[in-house]
Amino acid sequence: MRDPRAAEHGPGGWCDLKRKQIVVGAGLANGQVRTLVHEIAHALGIGYAQYGREQARGGRQVTLPCCKVCRLRDGSVAEYCSYIDITPVYA
């Protein structure tokens, strides 16, 4: 889910476990993917205690296949989705 409250220079997104939502802010695709992967880790129960921010930044680089789909209806954006295969993270 994209949300304008995810500030450009603040948190790029968040994981809301109670609502079962991951929110990603607008911005460059690379930043959105990075934020989404980070928040997916939180959704899977991986926290900073088990896997700190420094360890996450110093880890290996993984390429994730992804695409964005924009569906138009009556000349307006009706749906905008990002699809990301996170399987390579676990390889």
Instruction: Give tens-digit pLDDT for 35-65.
Output: 888 888 888 887 777 666 666 555 667 788 8
Count of beta carbons in the 10 Å neighbourhood of residue 28? 8
pLDDT, mean of residues 70-86: 86
Q: What is the pLDDT of residue 59?
A: 61
Q: What is the pLDDT of residue 83?
A: 85
Q: What is the pLDDT of residue 54?
A: 63
Tokens describing residue 57: 């930044």
Count of beta carbons in the 10 Å neighbourhood of residue 23? 19
Is the entire prediction scored with pTM above 0.75?
Answer: no
Which residues fall within 8 angstroms of residue 77, CB to CB, at 6 or more apart?
70, 71
Map residue 57 onto helix, strand or coil. helix
Average pLDDT, the chain: 76
